[in-house]
Amino acid sequence: MSNTQIAFRVRPKDEENWYKVKNYIQKKHGKLHGVIGMEAINLMLLGMEKSPDTHTQKHLTRTVNHRYADLLSFLSQFNEIDEPTLKTDIGDRIGQDNRTYKKYNVILVDRSILTYSHTIGNKRIKIYSVNIPKIRRELKRMKNEVVAVPKTQTENIIQMSRPEPCQEVV
Report phi then psi at 81, rounded to 5: -145, 140
pLDDT band at 80 (very low <50, low <70, confident <90, very high): very high
Sheet with 114-120: strands ordered across: 80-82, 125-130, 114-120
pLDDT band at 170 (very low <50, low <70, confident <90, very high): very low
Q: What is the mean pLDDT of residues 79-86?
A: 91
pTM for this entry: 0.49
Q: What is the mean pLDDT of residues 63-72?
A: 77
Q: What is the mean pLDDT of residues 4-18?
A: 83
Calculate the average pLDDT of the chain.
77
Q: What is the mean pLDDT of residues 156-166?
A: 48
pLDDT in tens, 110-145: 989 999 988 888 878 899 999 999 999 888 887 776
pLDDT band at 150 (very low <50, low <70, confident <90, very high): very low
The neighbouring-strand residues paired with 126 are 119
Half-sphere exposure of 103 (CA within 13 A, CB side): 18
CATH code for 62-144?
A: 1.10.10.10
The sign one gets for the Cα dihedral 50, 53, 55, 56 is negative
Q: What is the pLDDT of residue 64?
A: 53
Instruction: State the SS3 of the chain.
Output: CCCCCCCCCCCHHHHHHHHHHHHHHHHHHCCCCCCHHHHHHHHHHHHHHHCCCCCCCCCCCHHHHHHHHHHHHHHCCCCEEEHHHHHHHHHHHCCCCHHHHHHHHHHHHHCCCEEEEEEECCCCEEEEEECHHHHHHHHHHHHHCCCCCCCCHHHHHHHHCCCCCCCCCC
The residue extents of the domains of the chain are: 12-50, 62-144
Q: Which residue did the predictor score with more confidence, 55 or 73?
A: 73
Q: What is the mean pLDDT of residues 91-100?
A: 85
Q: What is the mean pLDDT of residues 54-58?
A: 47
